[in-house]
Structure 1
Amino acid sequence: MPQNEVREEFAHFLGPGSENGSWFRSEFQAVLDQWFDWRRDLFAEDPSPLPKGLRRSPGFLAEREQIGQKLAELCDRLTGEVPKYTPRYIGHMVSEVSIPALLGHFATLLHNPNNTSRDVARVSGAIEDEAIGLLAAMIGFDPDTAQGHFTSGGTLANFECVWRARYRMDHFLSLALAISEQAGEPLDPFAAGHMGWKRYHALAAQYGFSEEELRKASAVVSNPFEAAERIGKASGQPWRGPVLLVPGNKHFSWLKAANVFGLGEEAFWPVSLDANGRLDPAALDHAIGRARSAGRPVLAVITVAGTTEAGEIDPVDTVCDRLEALRAAGIDVWHHVDAAWGGFLCSMLGGEAETVLEGRSRTALRAIRRVNSVTLDPHKLGYVPYACGAFLVRDHENYANSLFAAPYIDRALANDRWMMTLEGSRSGAGASAVWLTGQTLSFRPDRFGAMMAGTIDSCRFFARALQNGEPLVRPLIPTDSNIFCFSLAKPGEALSVSNERTASVFRAFTADPEFSVSKTVLSRENYGELINAHVARYGGEADTDSTVLLRCVFMNPFWREDSIRAALMPRFIERLQAHMN
């Protein structure tokens, strides 16, 4: 990339040595000055509860001095925090935060809006709408019809998917149960649970059940145990509930979701991975067939765009094709993409930046626009402060969920989200951080997309240089995005021995102030074929059920700079080799 473009990109970050500090300080001060002026001028005629005499009294001054002292103590303690802003930090999914995100976050914190309702967030709520539209456009949804909101992170966003998929399926099952009982015909829970909204509305109009009758047949808003008995009686077999199909590379939040929403861990059906650590479409077909035979509808199929362990991108396009074929046959299955990590890679699509991706990854990311719902984490590759996740759906129909009444909030405001979110109170700071990022850096392929391409290029540079500098480095292949995992093994060595060496080096890095890396452990239960392929590349013996990997995450934009690469790469190799001795 030309140097002038790199300099433009770096204007959006403070810099490892606070190189943009003077300008950032002035913008930070401008935010404070505007806030001070707003407070001073809004109700200028009101008497002040803090006259000068009070502010100069000994007790008042002592209190201010104590606050200053404790603030200084806090700031001093925080200098011992992990320095995640530096290119030397390649550990977890956190890095330098962008200046627009910091300023947007800070400016909104000063006003302290609660995006639960427009009653207390007139402006912040509108900014959330606009920010969701920016993210929707980035992943390929139509921003005019897409719906969504910001959450505390990817876990809550994934929970939002389960909440809505359950709401939809419960409607389908409730109506089918009522029809079955009235007509005296057997109930097929699998077919009923996937009837789709079009058929639901047609049947609802045909049979004309009242809302109260359908609520009594619901396992969500009525008695779930009574509903289960009725479904079992109508279907002629015990009702065991729906299942959740999640690939073996899943995030831990999905098992939490199965627990929280009362599905039970037994309903959490892992879908096997292929030899590259991605969801195996054939295994998905088998799981859906198994669910159909058991009379258990599929609450949702989950695919992952950027796994937590190594950044793999599942074949979202192939899964979309499979599920669309089922939909054409009357089986409508909810499809959610957990793109908490890789969703921002969609900013590369449609421009030169996308060429850094393999063709299959481009196709998979482009297919995200075809799914029901998506999880994003702006506090990861969006370079936004914690805590900021996002949940998006294609349209209003997919956003529907159970409603809850709160008499102190005005339900007349149609664009309020208080009844549409699992979380009640929600800060507007994350939405503003995303909004200001999108309005300045923008999520276009030639802007944000180019920066994403740079992180992938940096990851590949690091991988090549590390393998050239240390012969025991065994890369985990493939690398779909900007996460590089590797083990340290001698040719023909047993996996248990290389695991111990790799784990020992990780422990040494945790005590090393120069660089930060992370560690991941892949289990044979989920990654068996990938582990076998990894060990086979160096002629090793797979004598244990897991593999330990050092994990390096390339988020920091400054790794694109030649001077950073020239300074840090040799030093990292030196530290790695020192930790192996």
Structure 2
Amino acid sequence: MDSAAPGAEQRRLDACFLGPYGENDSLLEKLVVEFLRDHVHWRRNFHPEDPPAIPTTAAQHPQYQALEAKMRRELHQLSAALKQSVPFHSPRYIGHMASDLLLPGLAAQILALPYNPNNVSEDAAPITVQLEIQAGLQLARMLGYPSDPTRPDCAFGHLTSGGTLANYQALRLALALKAFPVALRAADVPDIGVPEDDWQAFNLEPAAAIALLVRWQDWLARLDDGEARAWRERFQAQRPETLGLVEFFARHRDLKVPQVLAPITAHYSWSKGLKMLGLGRAQLRLVATRGMRMDADALRQVLDDCERERQPVLTVVGVLGSTEYGTIDPLDEIVQARRDMAARGLGFGIHVDAAWGGYLATLFRNPDGSLRTPAEIRGEYRDFPQPEVHAAFAALAETDSVTVDPHKLGYLPYGTGAFICRDHRATALIAEQADYVFMEGASGDYMARYRQLGQYIPEGSKSGAAAAAVYVTHRVLPLDHANFGLMPRQTVLAAEAFQARAQRFARDMQGVVSACVPFPPDSNLVCLALNPHGNRDLATANAFVRRLYDELRCDPHKPLQVKQFFSSITTLQRSMVGDAELHRILDGLGIDTGTLDHDRADRLVILRHTLMNPYLIDHENGISYIDRYFEYLGVLLGTARG
């Protein structure tokens, strides 16, 4: 790998951000002013024959001046208060999953805001609804899903407020698809290949259920309007969306409420989603991990138990970039487990929670959409990607749906999460009808079908400006390794440099502190475990790290400038990592594991670092903020030990 390449790549990113020092202030100002003026010209030319409603002398009126002064005062106060915000833009910030914003997205969102489009319907947002549909296809292509709207099995994606709502949408669609064949049976639909009993019907794989849905729609299309309407009503009356879950399962007593299988590292939004959907938190079954990735053997054991107990599985959740450690679950092994269990009559969906790691897929994608080989990628890094990580990203294309957060590694403003399903035809099962908003779309025209977007999404109102931000960003920086991938590439290189620097730090600080990276990073989150030299007590080690964190967290009672760096903390819990892994880490730190069983504090507090700022290694000025961070950490150790 050319050692000069990272610096050259940084130069290609220089126009993408406002910059740690506000270097691109003139560029952003020009863009905002240019398109604000353009918006004003649009207003003036809408019906130029209409006279101005606000007189040109209005600014001289005392009431006008009083309101202007009040507005300026409040805005200045807000601006002053916001100076206490977290400095996400700075390479000194390595805490949570936030960084500087991409200028194309920021400018596009500012540009679209005065138009105030509501992406629930084409009637309220004729342009940005189309942009949102296109943004969903852009993300689908990045994931390896079919993204050609002329294909009958083309993917579909839409934006959400965040990953939590996207995960909820995944549950909602998975349940509708799983219950669909059962409802067809209950409606006594003539033979179109409906399974023979409820258990078989409830255990169709998503692809088989979609094929049955297509046959059902084709059969209805051959009937006259009145007969087709009667059959639709008969079917609708048997759906859980009509009956409610209690009545649905009361009518199908041989079926148990399906479970969701997810790794212990899964985000808490899965618990929230199951409660919101009415399935209940008890239906979330957590699978053990190995090295903070889902343990494929443990998953197979759980699936074996489900088959034996005739316990249906709604979906298996794989995590592509865990919230705390950035680890990548073995999606390829999950896909294979699904194939094996389907042959035994236990069918289920696969959803990937890639809220954090979704945009890392750009590193694996060529500009023509094809998948890069491990050798092509590995030559650009020291260790990334490990074979199992490449296999996981390659398997994305065989999953059913994915959550991605453009407002994380997409570097876009908050309010831009995303849900993408592999086959858009399934969305017919979650469509809503509100006559005052929606109209019948052209069922054979992909873009026309989704122009009334509110039929398919949880929200009743949503920002079209956010869709503009995502779409424009993906147009400026296509989602492949040669374009958008330049940013996650910088962050993965930073993670590798951080890990190497942590190992050097551990050697240099022997006799002062024991230090280790508990789990090698799969992506760009790196944790650091610390224990004062000679200490054997877990509680003392945790108190030590918390004192360090007090110097590394955002404190609203102190000026931001007194903080040298910002990081975050998390915990290694025995229930999450398992006894063997926790003992390995504690032994390496010199902490006595013999008291764990009697100590209520069965978790280790560690520092957590999100390395997503592309300027952590500043090639222009020859500065490594990673080196500076560890130098500062060394200074803090004396304070924390005291």
TM-score (norm 1): 0.92
1:410 aligns with one of 422, 427, 438: 438
Tell me: CA distance 1:152–1:29, structure 2 relative to 1, closer, same or farther (3 Å): same
Distance 2:198 2:551 in 1: 55
Distance 1:441 1:480 in 2: 24
Runs (5+) with no aligned partner, structure 2? 149-153, 221-227, 366-371, 442-448, 556-561
- Cα deviation, 1:532-580, whole Å, max 9, x if unaligned, reads 3322333433324212111010011101324331673354334542442
Tell me: CA distance 1:179–1:545, structure 2 relative to 1, closer, same or farther (3 Å): farther
1:298 matched residue in structure 2: 313
Tell me: CA distance 1:56–1:310, structure 2 relative to 1, closer, same or farther (3 Å): same
Does 2:402 match 1:366?
no
RMSD: 2.5
Given residue 549 of structure 2, which amino acid in structure 1 is its aligned partner? F
Displacement of 1:353 in angstroms is 4.8
Does 2:324 match 1:314?
no
Number of aligned residue pairs: 571
1:580 matched residue in structure 2: 640
1:463 aligns with one of 499, 504, 507: 499
- After superposition, where does 1:180-579 map in structure 2 within 5 Å? 189-195=198-204, 196-197=208-209, 198=211, 210-232=231-253, 235=254, 239-274=255-290, 276-328=291-343, 330-350=345-365, 352-353=376-377, 355=380, 356-413=384-441, 414-415=449-450, 416-469=452-505, 470-471=509-510, 472-489=514-531, 490=533, 493-510=536-553, 511=555, 513-528=563-578, 529-542=580-593, 543=596, 544-562=601-619, 563-565=622-624, 568-569=628-629, 571-579=631-639
Q: Is the 8 A contact 2:530 2:589 kept in 1?
A: no
- Cα deviation, 1:321-378, whole Å, max 9, x if unaligned, reads 1112333555431100000000100000145556532221111112111110000000
Displacement of 1:220 in angstroms is 2.7
DSSP-derived class of the 1:63 partner: helix
Q: Is the 8 A contact 2:303 2:341 kept in 1?
A: no
Q: Is the 8 A contact 1:146 1:396 kept in 2?
A: yes
Q: Is the 8 A contact 2:159 2:419 kept in 1?
A: yes
Given residue 498 of structure 1, which amino acid in structure 2 is its aligned partner? A
Given residue 354 of structure 2, which amino acid in structure 1 is its aligned partner? A
Distance 2:288 2:196 in 1: 30
Distance 2:98 2:333 in 1: 31
Distance 2:357 2:566 in 1: 22
71-80 or 308-317: which moved more? 71-80
Given residue 340 of structure 1, which amino acid in structure 2 is its aligned partner? A
Tell me: CA distance 1:202–1:336, structure 2 relative to 1, closer, same or farther (3 Å): same
Does 2:226 match 1:175?
no
DSSP-derived class of the 1:418 partner: helix
Given residue 375 of structure 1, which amino acid in structure 2 is its aligned partner? T
Distance 1:339 1:570 in 2: 30
DSSP-derived class of the 1:244 partner: strand
Given residue 602 of structure 2, which amino acid in structure 1 is its aligned partner? D
Distance 2:80 2:535 in 1: 50
- Cα deviation, 1:17-37, whole Å, max 9, x if unaligned, reads 111112221112112111111
Percent of residue pairs identical: 31
Distance 2:639 2:270 in 1: 36
DSSP-derived class of the 1:122 partner: coil
Q: Is the 8 A contact 1:151 1:157 kept in 2?
A: yes
314-323 or 372-381: which moved more? 314-323
- After superposition, where does 1:151-162 map in structure 2 within 5 Å? 151-162=160-171
DSSP-derived class of the 1:558 partner: coil
Displacement of 1:224 in angstroms is 3.4
Q: Is the 8 A contact 2:256 2:312 kept in 1?
A: no
- After superposition, where does 1:26-175 map in structure 2 within 5 Å? 26-144=30-148, 145-175=154-184
Q: Is the 8 A contact 2:535 2:541 kept in 1?
A: no
Runs (5+) with no aligned partner, structure 1? none
- Cα deviation, 1:451-480, whole Å, max 9, x if unaligned, reads 212101112212322332344222111211
